[in-house]
Amino acid sequence: MKRSVAVILFAVFAVCMIVVVLHLYPVGDPRLPGYADFIPAEIPSEEIPRRADSVATYYNRNSARDVGGTCVIASVILDYRGYDTLYEATVLFTAVIACLALIGKDHHHE
Amino acid sequence: MNNSLIVKVVSQKMVPFIIMLGASIILHGAATPGGGFQGGVVIGAAYILFALGIDAKTARLRLPVIKVKIVESAGVLIYAFTGLGGILLGSNFLANKIVLFPPQGEPGGLFGGGTLIPITIGVGIHVACTVASLYYAFVEYEGEPKPDKETE
């Protein structure tokens, strides 16, 4: 019973993931958000302003107004992506606690 | 190395300057490239140099393990409580410009980033103590560094 439920759930998730992957743009497609500043020559000039309004260009232009720092990288990792850095620090903390628990010596029982 | 006066003196004299460099990198995290992780590693390396110059037992007395662990936890908590300030003032977690917490400085200046400076300081403290505590753990695991009799 448990096994069949697991197999059915796995099949459902696998189908969902395959469908999502089939709908993605191919790698290197200029429509991807990361390629905002790369504008191919065959794009007509009236499409360029709309195309440039993507996430990378937005950060470059507006981070000084939104956050206030002049370092765009610091603005992105600490403000726009602040949750990511918070849990990154938490993961580092957990890893160190695990290291100390495994190889550290207990000073209270020396 | 344990008996070398030059290594001992130079490593002790270098430590405050390296810590100043790390603090500078941390405090300029909002204005220049660098930030909490990089400056924290520099400060942790300064502690390792300090512990290598004198023996590990004396270094451990200067900076006890329990203090390092407390300060390390405080680094993460500074980050989290900076985010909670946004909630207390009626916006979302880690809100910056919307609630004006902490007070915004001049844009482009040292405190221009609002939450960026407390977050960077918290991350820097955390990473520095992480490096120091990992050094503690490995030195304890390997045992005290023994004087090398063959080279004398």
Q: So what's the ipTM on this one?
A: 0.77
CB proximity B74 to A under 8 Å: no
Is the Cβ of A69 closer than 8 Å to some Cβ of chain B?
yes
Q: Which residue has the higher pLDDT, B119 or B144?
A: B119
Contacting residues for B47 by C-beta, under 8 A, at least 6 apart: B15, B59, B63, B128, B131, B132, B135
CB B93 to CB A74 under 8 A? Answer: no
Cβ of A71 and B31 within 8 Å? yes
Q: What is the pLDDT of residues A48-90, one digit of tens each?
A: 555 556 677 778 878 877 787 788 888 888 888 888 999 999 9
Q: What pLDDT, in 10s, does the model give residues B90-140?
A: 888 888 777 666 777 676 677 777 788 889 999 999 999 999 888 878 876
B32, B113, B127: residue with CB nearest A67: B113
Residue B144 has a pLDDT of 53
Token look-up 């270098």 returns B14
The answer to whether the CB atoms of B105 and A68 lie below 8 A apart is: yes
CA distances for B121 relative to A64, B115, B124, angstroms: 20, 10, 5
Per-residue pLDDT, A44: 64
Q: Quick check: is B74 in a domain?
A: yes
With an 8 Å Cβ cutoff, is B94 touching chain A? yes
Alpha-carbon span B141 to A48, nearest angstrom: 60
Please give the residue that has the higher pLDDT: either B140 or A26.
Answer: A26
Mean pLDDT across the stretch B1-28? 87
- Interface A-B: count of C-beta contacts within 8 A: 115
Q: Is residue B51 scored above 90 in pLDDT?
A: no
* Chain B residues lying within 8 Å of A69, measured CB to CB: 30-31, 107-108, 112-113, 116
Residue B151 falls within a domain, yes or no? no
Whether B57 is in a domain gets the answer yes
Q: Give the integer Cα–Cα distance in Å for A43 and A63.
A: 27
Average pLDDT over residues B138-148: 62
Q: What's the N-to-C CA distance of chain A in angstroms?
A: 52
- Can you give the pLDDT at residue A73? 86
pLDDT of residue A46: 62
Between CA B64 and CA B42 the distance in angstroms is: 20
Q: Is the Cα torsion angle A49, A51, A54, A56 positive or negative in sign?
A: negative
Domain housing B118: 5-142
Single out the residue of B76, B81, B67, B82 nearest to residue B122, CA to CA. Answer: B76
A73 contacts on B by Cβ (under 8 Å): 33, 35
Cβ–Cβ gap B130/A69 under 8 Å:
no
Which of A35-44, B55-64, B68-77 has the weakest average pLDDT? Answer: A35-44
Residue A5 pLDDT exceeds 80: yes
Q: In this predicted structure, what is the pLDDT of residue B19?
A: 94
Cβ–Cβ under 8 Å, residues B114 and A67: yes
Q: How many domains does chain B have?
A: 1
Q: Closest chain A residue to B73 measured between Cα atoms?
A: A93
The whole-chain average pLDDT of chain A stands at: 78
**Residue B110: closest CA among chain A residues belongs to which residue?**
A69
- A107: which chain B residues are within 8 Å (Cβ-Cβ)? 65-66
Write phi, then psi, for B115 (nearest 5 degrees): -70, -10
> How large is the average pLDDT for residues B70-94?
87
pLDDT at B143 over 80: no
Chain B residues with CB inside 8 Å of A62's CB? none
- Report, as an integer, the average pLDDT of B52-66: 80
